[in-house]
Amino acid sequence: MAITKTKAPAFHITGEVGWINDPNGLIYYNGQYHAFFQHHPYDTKWGPMHWGHVVSEDLTNWKYLPNALTPGGDGDKNGCFSGSAIVYDGRLWLLYTGFTENQGGDSIRQLQCLAESSDGITFKKHGIVIGEDDLPEGYSPSDFRDPKVWRHGGLFWCIVAARKLDGRGRILLYKSADLFKWEFVGDLLGKDSAGIMIECPDYSEEDGYLLFCEQFQPSENGLHLNVHTCRFAIGKIDYSRGVFKEESRGIVDYGFDVYAPQTFAGKPVMMGWLNMWDRNIPSEKYGFAGMLTVPRAVSVRDGRLYQEPIVNSTEVYKTEVSERLEDRVKVGVITVVATSLEALTLKLRSGGDSFTSLTLCGNEWVLDRSKSGEAIVGVEKDEDSLKGIRRMPFSGKSAVTLTVVMDEFSVEIFEDGNSLTSTIYPPEGADSLELTVKAEGCVYRRADVTLKA
């Protein structure tokens, strides 16, 4: 099917046309940041997965390269699923999941494949390197995917999401001396996940955190309302025992639309899929579906994952706000710095009957996208989800910095290291902004994203 892209976000990664989901193989190689992503270039729906590929020097301006992986090879006949990258011996290596559908159901195979490149553009496939025989007994080769690779203590290590035949999601640890031959080491968490399956595990040895997503799971008394949830767990792997020593855990994002967050190999910079499974994506009519979040600097503070957006931008407007301020902005970075904050409402992308609002309500920020524009309908049936609401804790600090990264189809809201991310599909011309605030002092700043022609 021939499709063309008629509208696009200004600086968020999408496919050149068609569908994208998870970020894959995020890495710095030969002087550029490389981001790959799950991609179906021939339709705006998920299909046979390719690895799309973009590169950047500043993490804001991205350039398309040819697709890095195309399904059809030995072990990846029906799709090149998610995975990661590592630089070794001057070359760029991709470890990813080869998907073979066979007759469906239990005959599906998801096994780990290797590819290499010496120019970072064209890749040579080596086929399956972690196969069915490398799974410990009792695990399903039909749900075994999304390897994350790194180096530690002179060896390669990788974690892969798996499912017990009589249970739920697990994360398995493997080691290798050469990237080709892998040995099972341990079941990292040692117990079933709450969701039916785990996806896209990620680990930072330097900063000590594990990221993973769970599919279809209870909301844990409203702690997370998305049925597919991304978690962080702070702690470190005990390599000798093959277990993760967890200190604390939480959710990666409080909004509607982050999935499969991954960090750049060896760098504390994370990106996620800025969408969610099991929802309609109104941008299909513009020839694309799916975006990636802005890159985020991540660190561990007070036992949680702390995120700050990385956007190459230039300040264009700064003013003190006594009570109320009006502005116009569709694409840009808004920062509100307030002291002794008592009340705040930010109305974004407003025009006609449409707007998106963020309101400070007691000890939480409340995002309302019910009037944002085109309706997004998901499988969640709780009251907040049906009303287009998501909530994020408010730090309550005496000096507050609120940052909102805005693009055509998204808002990413940050306060005290927490993030709340959502897609929105406003009508043309909905670009008014209104800030009302009650605080001892408040400064509003708007920055333009620095885009190359």
Give the residue numbers annotated as catalytic, written as ranges. 22
Q: Which is nearer to ligand FRU, 53 or 349 (CB)?
A: 53
What are 53's strand-pairing partners? 36, 65
Q: Select the residue interacting with ligand FRU from 187, 199, 214, 257 (CB under 6 A).
A: 199
DSSP string covering 55-115: EESSSSSEEEEEEEE-S-STT-TTEEEEEEEEEETTEEEEEEEEEE-TTSGGG-EEEEEEE
CB 109 within 8 A of CB 132: yes
CA-based R_g, the chain, Å: 22
- 3-state secondary structure at position 132: helix
Residues 18/22/25/27 CA torsion (nearest 10 deg):
90
Q: Which is nearer to ligand FRU, 275 or 335 (CB)?
A: 275
Q: What are phi and psi of 369, to 5 degrees?
A: -110, 20
Q: Which is nearer to ligand FRU, 146 or 408 (CB)?
A: 146
Q: Enumerate residues 112-151 that contact ligand FRU by CB under 6 A.
A: 145-146
By CB under 6 A, residue 233 contacts ligand FRU: no
Q: Which is nearer to ligand FRU, 134 or 415 (CB)?
A: 134
Q: Which is nearer to ligand FRU, 81 or 394 (CB)?
A: 81
Q: Helices then strands (H, E): number in the chain?
A: 1, 33
By CB under 6 A, residue 260 contacts ligand FRU: yes
Nearest CA to 112 out of 123, 125, 100, 96 is that of 96
CB of 39 to ligand FRU, least distance (A): 9
CA–CA gap between residue 148 and residue 210 (Å, rounded): 11
Quote the Cα angle for 340-346-351, to 5°.
165
By CB under 6 A, residue 14 contacts ligand FRU: no
Q: Enumerate residues 367-386 that contact ligand FRU by CB under 6 A.
A: none
Q: Which is nearer to ligand FRU, 135 or 297 (CB)?
A: 135
**Which residue in this structure is represented by tokens 């991954």?**
262
CB of 426 to ligand FRU, least distance (A): 26
CB of 162 to ligand FRU, least distance (A): 11
Per-residue string for binding with ligand FRU, 304-333, x by CB under 6 A? Answer: ------------------------------
Q: Which is nearer to ligand FRU, 113 or 225 (CB)?
A: 113
Per-residue string for binding with ligand FRU, 74-113, x by CB under 6 A? Answer: -------xx--------------x----------------
Q: Select the residue interacting with ligand FRU from 49, 188, 233, 430 (CB under 6 A).
A: 49
User: Which amino acid does the sequence have at 213?
Assistant: C
Per-residue string for binding with ligand FRU, 155-194, x by CB under 6 A? Answer: ----------------------------------------
Q: What are phi and psi of 169, to 5 degrees?
A: -70, 145
267 CB-near residues (< 8 Å, 6+ apart): 28
| Interface contacts to ligand FRU, rule CB under 6 A | 21-22, 38, 49, 81-82, 97, 145-146, 199-200, 259-260
